[in-house]
Every structure is written in structure tokens, then in C-alpha cells.
Chain A
Amino acid sequence: MSENNGRLAVRKTYKLFVGGAFPRSESGRSYAVRSAKGVFLANAALASRKDARDAVVAARKAFPGWSGATAYNRGQILYRVAEMLEGRRAQFAAELVDADGVSARKAGELVDAAVDRLVWYAGWSDKIAAVHGSANPVAGPYFNLSTPEPSGVVAVVAPPMGPLLGLVSVIAPVIVSGNTCVVVASERAPLPAITLAEVLATSDLPGGVVNILTGRAAELAPWLAGHMDVNGIDLTGCPEELAVACERDAAENLKRVFRPDPGEDWLATPGTARLRAFLETKTVWHPVGI
């Protein structure tokens, strides 16, 4: 972004991330993103209802492959995302300084925490079934096994604060278990989300597993909450009134709704609530006999 040595910098165009590609908003709209100090940073795409729907289609398309991948493979890919993020540490730190007005040192710590968060979740991929599944001792000659499975396509309204650490902390628990998602990035600070999309696109993550929209949560979230092919919604980034409206709309097809803890500290170890929010339990019975 900065212009050094009299050379005019080549700026980046920030677009959406849908189905593994970087399209502009079909609406042709954009909005000016400013730094914490009010300096113009870039024009981000202002996603529309149609973009949200396209993103759901991409997420649905990616679901069979991603949920059918081995847990080991998903863990490997999440770890790869962490590696890619680590490699771009300086770039993300600079974006966080711009976005949040934090010191360079603090920004670096936030990037480190985001990398560590991804590593933490990567390790969960092949532990979830062991911890949340069970072999059930039923009173009869039956094999009976319960295993966790992903709910499907999850809409995630990312927190307005924490444009990188908060974002990673809401995406990772959703996808590590095999869900695919449509994320509405922080409206205030969307640029790190699109840079994260560049990381995701180069981490062997299949296209469509994570789709990122930039724009207004108040405009996009209701469409996602009412969408009949979305199975769950994380309302973390919704202000109170919007969250209630979305929760009401989500009842239409009985979406799994994650209501955030308002005091959530992104730097603390997350616990499993976010992991569990978008898991189903499947129980299989089979008679035992010869």
C-alpha cells in the first residue's frame, strides 16, 4: 500500500471469494474501506443477495467432497492454512495495523494467535469422533455406534472486531468437522478476510469449502438466515436486533443456531462449544449374530 522511493505501488483489488475463485460482486457495487485513522485503504466489494446465494451454491457443491474427506486430510489442510498464514505474517500484521490501529507488535501477536488457533483446530479433526462419539451398550444383541457428522452448509457472520483472529476463530471450528461455510466478513475491516482468502486458496482447501463475502451484515445475514439450503448459522457478528431477526428466520428450516457468548475473548483457548454447534450425531444399529 505504501509508496516508497518515489515508486508508485501496485495496489490490490479486493474481491469476493466464492467457489475458490475471486469474483467481483455481481451487483457491481463496492464500498470504501478506511483505516482506523480514517485513511482510504481500498474499495471492497459490496456483496449482494445474489452473491450470497451463489456462495451457498458453491458451499453446497463442496460439501460432499469435504465432509467425505478423511479427518486426517482435513487436519492436514487446516495445518497447511496455518503454514501459509505464518508465511504471510508481515503482510497480515501490516493490514491489522491499518485496520485496527494497533501497534506493529500487537498486530504481530494477533497474527501469531491466529496461526496457533488454526493449528489447535487442525489437531481436532481426527479427535472429534473419539471425544463426541460413543459405543453404546444397548440392552440387546446389537452393535450400536454414535458418531459426529457435520451439519452441512453453515452461514457465519464474522465478528466486526478481530478481523483476522476473530475470523479464523469462527471459520476453523466450522470447517474442521467437515462443514462448508459462507462467511460474512467484518464490514468495518474486510481486507484481512480477503487476504486470508488468498491463503485459503493456496492451502489445498477445495474451492467452495470457505466462501467469503464482504459487505453489510445487516443486508446479507437475513438472506442467509432464511435460505432453505443453509443448515446452520453462527450469529457472532450480528448486533442484537439483527441476531434476533436472523434467529427467527432461521427457524424456517430449523437451522442450527450458534448464539455467541458476548464476552468471548479471542485470545483465550476456545473450548468445544463452537465445534459442537454444527455437529449432528448419527447412531447406527446392527444386529449381532452368526
Chain B
Amino acid sequence: MRLEYAPAPESRDVVEIKPSYGLFINGEFVEGGGTPFKTVNPADEQALAEVACADEADVDRAVQAARKAFGVWSALPGAERAKYLFRIARIIQERARELAVLETLDNGKPIRESRDVDLPLVAAHFFYYAGWADKLEYAGFGPAPRPLGVAGQVIPWNFPLLMLAWKIAPALACGNTVVLKPAETTPLTALAFADICVQAGLPAGVVNIVTGAGETGAAVVNHADVNKVAFTGSTEVGRLIARSLAGTGKKLTLELGGKAANIVFEDAPLDQAVEGIVNGIFFNQGHVCCAGSRLLVQESIRDELLDALKRRLGTLRLGDPLDKNTDIGAINSAAQLAKIRELADAGEREGAERWSPACAIPERGYWFPPTVFTGVAQSHRIAREEIFGPVLSVLTFRTPAEAVEKANNTPYGLSAGVWTEKGSRILWLADRLRAGVVWANTFNRFDPASPFGGYKESGYGREGGRHGLEAYLDV
């Protein structure tokens, strides 16, 4: 018997979206010089608000404000900076419900995820780095590590507020000031964060938010008075930034793409592994740089595992992101949907077999059903390129050595998963997988105390933990 769920929508009333938003520069909301743009709800394609677009002059004003604030902010005793960050963390907790709904509206992710994953992690991240602000001399980088100055930060649309927290919390704790550009399609929670800075009484200019598209981002990272650039996004753009920063002496950290292998051995607890595979690739519609997008399953259990996986995928609910029962929300934008479709079509054309559960797709909005490709060869585009969508490519292996070989056969190196009951095998694999995060018998876990970041073309530098301080200190 299949039990249907009644709709359980979270109320939109907890958040008040203004018709238009300005840039947040030097503690005030101001107009932008560029052409304003609309941000839409990807679940119904309705415009949510009009947002100012920062041009070069606006970015320059933001950097000047940050530069001016740097003197005051970096001179504050660490304990005082810490208290501002603790305040921000508390306000985020107080406004968590509002922020979760806003995130879901602007991004399309299920409210269950924005409420239970994104927002708790955002607050935790500020709490964590608040505690570092007056203890930097104990962080292992020498007796008196210094901040770098003005940090230019560009973040993606998949975890808008969480990526903001990953960037701003350590930067401020170390005594830097920031100019942050949120993604064009998800600016609203960053602008809500600007309001949180006002509520916290943060000195003007310490945090500046400039909204816009790629040109605005380029103006931020290329500004001559920016000392540090932090970028999370595609490897393609990361490469461009690394090139354009050559010779400038700006400190650069990059958190880029991935094509993680999720390796399942025949002795793995199958039901747990299935949950891990689902969480690995269908969490956040697969809009996750560390998503377990390549399933490497030991040949002996291939059929059994695929049957169990398909059964489980049949129970996933796709639809209204604000519904508390929704598992799969909307794809963030029409452009991303087109990219996922293109790669999925390429998978079919190249000879892999495509499967999706029976799944009603809403009429409006951007949607893509959970999709599994079997019969995937390592040379297929869907095994090599980051799809950044709910698409799983299944490959098989026979020996542990072959699993390692296939897992590492990618220019990326962000994450990997291992499922087996044998402890020594986990450690053997963990040693050999060239990836910054290895999840063993779990997947897609995050914590502010745990460093995150990639090997090879997944970028460099770490965010989170003591390691995350290094990116914002002159060490």
C-alpha cells in the first residue's frame, strides 16, 4: 500500500520580500550604477524582487568603504570582534525560519534542507569563528598573525547563505573586512544578511554586499585594492580568476567543481549505502560541488544495489520546495536546467542507459527528475564533467585497486565516499583517494570545525576548522 502525503506547505508570511533591493555599501543600502535585474522563484518562475546591479564604480566604493573600515576593525581587540560575530550568530538563529523560507523561495531547495541543514550550519559557522577571533595566536601560524586587509569574495547559488557564512565568518574573525558578491540568481539572503549586520551594530564598511552578475564579480576580484580573493564556483571561472590574479600578489583560495566517486563494496550495509547514495547525489537537487555523482559499485552486488536504489528513488517526492515533505526541489535556473539536460542527453547519445522513477513534474518552474545512468564508461561526458544536477552515473569495479584507479581518474579531487564494513579497507582507501574530504559510511556531512576543500582542479585552500583561518591571515 502506498500512502500519499497531504500537502504541508511552510508559510511564506514569515518573510517580507521588498519589491526592490539596493547594494549594501558602508552600512547603507544604495542604488547601483548597473541595470537592475529580477530574481525569480525557480519553483514557479515568478519574480520575487528587483535587485540593484553594481558596476565598477559601485565596487570601487564598496572596496573603499571596506578599506576605511579595515583600520578600525583590525585594530579592535579580538574579543570585541568575537562579540560582534556571536551577535550575528544569535540573530541568524532568531531569524532562522524567515531566512530558511527566503532561501527556499530564491534558490528552489526544499524547505526541509534550508531549515535543517543550511540555517543551522550558517549559525554554527559564525559561532565557531567567533571563538577564534581572540585566539589567533594559538592557531599554529605564529605568535601574532595579521589579517590581510580587504577580502573580495564571490559565492555561488547552491548554498547562498551558507557560502556567505563560510566566507565572511573567518574573514571577519581574522580582522579583515569584506566585499561580497552573491550569485545573480540568489541574492536575497545575502541582502537579508546585510540587515543582520545592521541589527548587530557591525561598524559600517566591515561587510559590503554588491549584487550583480559575472561583470560585478570580475570587478571585485580584479580591484587593485583587494588583498585577498575567495571564490566558490565553477572550475572554469576559478581558472580565469587564477590567471587574472597572476603577479598581483593577492592571496587566493578557490573552492571549485567536483566529480566525486561514491564507492560501494560488496560487504557494505546495503540499506545504509542506498541512503548515502541518495543523500550524496540528490541532496539539494545535486547542486553540490562535492556531490557523489559517480557511483562505483562492486560488480558482485551491482544488480542488488541498483534494485534497492531504484525502489528508494521511487519514494522521493519532487515538487513545491516550501512543502515540508518535499525531497527534491526546483533546479535553480533555466540556464542550469538547460545544462543538466544537455549533459543527460549526451549520456544517452554516448550509449548509457537512462532511468528515472515515475515522477510528476510541475507545469511551471524548472525541474529535473532524479536520474540514474547505468552502463556508463569512464570516457562518457556524464562520468567526466560536473553535471551539478540530480543525475547519477553508475560504474562498476572488481578489486579495491580498480576502485581507487577509477575514483582518482578525474581532474577533480573534492570529495569521495566509501561504503564497507571493513575498517582497514576504509583506511587503505582513504589513504589513496586524492580528494579533500572522504566520507566513509556516510556522505555530504558538513561542520564548521571540519576543513573542506579540494585537491587538483577542485581548487586550493580550506574552509572550516583551524585550517580555514590560513586563507585570511598573512602567514
Chain A residues within 8 Å of B, Cβ to Cβ: 68, 131-132, 134, 136-140, 142, 144, 146, 151-152, 231, 240, 243-245, 247-248, 250-254, 256, 259, 273, 276, 280-287
B457 lies within 8 A of A146 (CB):
no
Given the interface contacts A140-B445, A282-B436, A282-B438, does A247 sit within 8 Å of B246 by beta carbon? yes
Check A285–B249 contact: CB distance below 8 A: no
B235, B440, B442: which contacts A254 (Cβ < 8 A)? B235
CB-based contact A137/B449 at 8 Å: yes
Residue of A nearest to B462 (CB): A281
Query: CB-defined interface of B2-44 with A at 8 Å, one 1/0 digit per residue?
Result: 0000000000000000000000000000000000000000000
Q: State the Cβ distance, B384 to closest chain A Cβ, in Å.
A: 15
B447 lies within 8 A of A140 (CB): yes
Q: Number of B interface residues, CB 8 Å?
A: 43
Indicate if the CB atoms of A144 and B239 lie closer than 8 Å.
no
Are A254 and B242 closer than 8 Å at their CB atoms? Answer: yes
A283-B436, A286-B426 known; A139-B447 Cβ under 8 A: yes
A273 in contact with B247 given A136-B447, A282-B435, A283-B438 (CB within 8 Å): no
**How far is A286 from B242 in the complex, measured between Cα atoms in Å?**
34
Given contacts A231-B456, A248-B243, contact A253 B442 (CB under 8 A): no
> Across the interface, which residues of A come within 8 angstroms of B470, CB to CB?
276
Residues of B within 8 A of A276 (CB): 470
A282 touches B430 (CB 8 A): yes
- Listed in ascending order, the chain B residues whose CB lies under 8 Å from chain A are 124, 140, 235, 238-240, 242-243, 246-247, 249, 254, 256, 411, 426, 430-431, 435-442, 445, 447, 449-453, 455-457, 459-460, 462, 465-467, 470, 475
Which of A139, A244, A281 sits near B453, CB closer than 8 Å? A281
A215 to chain B, nearest CB (A): 24
Known: A144-B450, A244-B247, A281-B453. 8 other contacts (CB 8 A): A136-B447, A140-B447, A250-B246, A251-B239, A253-B411, A254-B242, A280-B436, A285-B437
User: Would you call A284 and B466 a contact (CB within 8 A)?
Assistant: no
The secondary-structure label for the interface of chain A is mixed
Closest B residue to A280 using CB positions: B455
**Are A136 and B451 closer than 8 Å at their CB atoms?**
yes
What 10 A-B pairs are tightest by C-beta distance, nearest first?
A244-B247, A251-B242, A247-B246, A138-B447, A248-B246, A251-B243, A136-B449, A286-B440, A284-B438, A136-B450
Interface centre among B238, B242, B431 (most CB of A within 10 A): B242
Q: Who on chain A is nearest to B466 by CB?
A: A134
Distance (Å) between the CB of B144 and the closest chain A CB?
Answer: 14
User: Is A285 in contact with B450, judged by CB distance below 8 angstroms?
Assistant: yes
Query: Measured between alpha carbons, how far is A244 from B248 in the docked complex, in Å?
Result: 9
- Shortest Cβ distance from residue B336 to the other chain A in the assembled complex, whole angstroms: 23
Query: Is the beta-carbon distance between B440 and A281 smaller than 8 angstroms?
Result: no
Identity of the chain B residue whose Cβ is nearest the Cβ of A289 in the assembled complex: B441
Tell me, rounded to whole Å, the shortest Cβ–Cβ distance linking B368 to chain A: 28
Taking a contact as CB atoms under 8 Å apart, the answer to whether B124 and A139 are in contact is: yes
B247 touches A283 (CB 8 A): no
**A284 and B430 form a contact (CB under 8 A):** yes
- Report whether B438 and A254 are in contact in the complex, using a CB–CB cutoff of 8 Å: no
A contact residues around B460 at 8 Å (CB):
254, 256
Contact call B441/A144, Cβ cutoff below 8 A? no
Q: Report the bound CA distance from A139 to B128 in whole Å.
A: 11
Whether A254 contacts B447 by the Cβ 8 Å rule is no
B455 to chain A: closest residue by CB:
A280
**Partner among B124, B140, B451, B457 whose Cβ is within 8 Å of the Cβ of A281:** B451
With A134-B466, A144-B447 in contact, is A252–B239 under 8 Å at CB? Answer: yes
Interface centre among A144, A273, A284 (most CB of B within 10 A): A284
Q: Are B449 and A138 in contact, with the CB atoms below 8 A?
A: yes
A134, A136, A250, A281 — most chain B CB neighbours (10 Å)? A281
Cβ A244 vs Cβ B450 within 8 A:
no
Known: A248-B243, A254-B457, A286-B426. A131 touches B451 (CB 8 A): no
Q: Which residues does chain A contribute within 8 Å of B452, judged by CB atoms?
A: 283
Q: Are A283 and B235 in contact (CB under 8 A)?
A: no
CB-based contact A146/B451 at 8 Å? yes
Residues from chain B with Cβ under 8 Å of A251 in the complex: 239-240, 242-243, 246
CB pairs A–B below 8 angstroms (25 shown): A134-B451, A134-B466, A136-B449, A136-B450, A138-B449, A140-B447, A144-B449, A144-B450, A146-B450, A240-B247, A248-B243, A251-B242, A252-B239, A254-B457, A276-B470, A281-B453, A281-B462, A282-B436, A285-B437, A285-B440, A285-B442, A286-B426, A286-B441, A287-B441, A287-B442
